[in-house]
A and B are shown apart, each in its own frame.
Chain A
Amino acid sequence: ANTDVLVGVKAELDAPESSQPNRGRLEFFVDCTANADPEFEGRGGEDLALGISSALSQAFSSSNCLDLCSLCVLPGQQVWLLYVDVLILECGGSLLDAVSLAVKAALMNTKIPAVTVNTTEEGSSEIEVSDDPYDVNNLEVSKVPCIVTLTRVGHQFVVDATKEEQACSIGHLSVAVTESGSLTAVRKTGSGSLHPESILDILQTAQEIGINLNQQLVEKVKLESSVKKDRRGFLT
């Protein structure tokens, strides 16, 4: 079974949060469509969607992950608000890991229009957004984490678990790892418990895999934007 997700990033100008007046905002929305599983019909996928979006917010909670200060236009008044919309199209295991990879890839090719702020004579400010499609800024994504989940099957832990492996497992530990190897989030999910000793091992393994994963992803996304390809459709 495949895992298939689609991520889009949209930027809007909005007021900042009162606790962080000179920071841009980042919001995650996850939609589990009924295409992925008939059980998601109606409100059925809500719990899963909330779990994924809260895991993403947690992974991005450190201000270092994404330089949100660069998204500030007018401190206290106008900042960029990035909506990261995740669409789950097929789930065949390791959903959170796949979503985090897609989010990072989407953020890598997000382009924010250049903005100029003019102060009028009365002292009020005017914001002008460039409409030139080439007058754009890229986001700095070198510290955006990828999530690596280790799934406990019996007494062993596996990465990139399949749907079947997940069905056999009661405990998972998801670790968000940046390219430099820092952990930006750790969370235990599932109804089982873990031994402290194994947690230490997991963190080491997750870090190692996470660094690798980040490097590969960055490399491939760069390659993707450079190669010319004959496209027959969106998916091929």
Chain B
Amino acid sequence: MAVEIRLTCEKPREEFQFERPKHLVTPGDIITSDTGFMRGHGTYVEEENLVASVAGIVERVNKLVSVRPLKTRYNGEIGDVVVGRITEVQQRRWKVETNSRLDSVLLLSSVNLPGGELRRKTAEDELAMRKYLAEGDPISAEVQSVFSDGSLSLHTRSLKYGKLSQGTLVLVSPSLIKRRKTHFHNLPCGARIILGNNGYIWISPTVDEDVNESTGGFIQNLELVPLTDRETVARLRNCILALARHRLLLYDTTILYSYEASLRHQCKDIMKPEVMLEISQLVRQRLEIEGL
């Protein structure tokens, strides 16, 4: 089996060819001394100056000025699609880890249980909660509401949400996920991908929709996934990591382009830094050509 070791001095140096975003600030930088602006996230006011409190890009919406940091925990908004993992089973609720500051809550009353949408949740259901979702189970859900302390309440009252079966979870920064109309994609390369707004991405082999819907998402198919499907999933994972590393926004088009750009390499080679760079550059070029 081939082994490859590299010295740190052999690392390729990353050259930045694209232009720098215009307004970068670090904590303490004065954004404006004009008093006509409103203070948004990542800023504070001192002696009539608007000052940045995080490192990031200045964004302005009319009179509201905010600074968006590159690395951040997830700040949820109602309607967001999230991917998360159950951390605790509590009284009539599950705690879900969703990359936000506080663990999110999934109430028993906001899930679909096997047996239909308009079912009453009984005391037996309360006792059997761990049967439906246990600690460590990955789920997809939608943000139902945001509590005053910033923690999220989730729901899975649609057949597209629920327990996730076999697949791979990729963690990226939430600021890299582009907000789209849909975050569920059946890619033509034979994989299904859920781009959680919280930066958690779930990649799984394509499954028959009918099977998934009839079980309500609570029955996991634990049959062995064929090697080709697993390789597709692994390739997608590596591509997403390559895009994330070079800070390209993630949505179906970029992921598909990167997948196509990666096909000339072996799946494992995509983890090499120079291949990652190459793929990201190819994707960037293609986006520019198409004017996206």
Give residues in A with beta carbon < 8 Å to B.
101, 159, 164, 205, 208-209, 212-213, 216-217, 220, 223-224, 227, 229, 231, 235-236
Contact = CB atoms under 8 A, between A and B. Distances in A.
Contacts of B118: none
B8 A236 contact: yes
A235 B8 contact: yes
B11 A220 contact: no
Given A224-B9, A229-B9, A209 B1 contact: yes
Given A205-B1, A209-B1, A212-B2, A236 B11 contact: yes
Interface of B: 1-9, 11, 168
B223 to A, nearest CB: 12
B4 A208 contact: no
Contacts of B11: 236
Contacts, number: 29
Given A208-B1, A216-B5, A220-B6, 10 more contacts: A101-B5, A205-B1, A209-B3, A212-B3, A216-B3, A217-B5, A220-B5, A223-B7, A224-B7, A236-B8
B9 A227 contact: yes
A164 B168 CA distance: 9
Nearest to A209: B1
7 contacts: A101-B5, A209-B3, A212-B1, A216-B3, A216-B5, A220-B6, A224-B7
Nearest to B224: A154
Contacts of A205: 1
A185 B3 CA distance: 21
Contacts of A236: 8-9, 11
Per CB-CB distance, the 8 closest pairs between chain A and chain B, nearest first, are A229-B9, A212-B3, A216-B5, A220-B5, A213-B3, A224-B7, A216-B3, A209-B1
A121 to B, nearest CB: 53
A209 B4 CA distance: 11
A164 B233 CA distance: 15
B50 to A, nearest CB: 34
Contacts of A235: 8
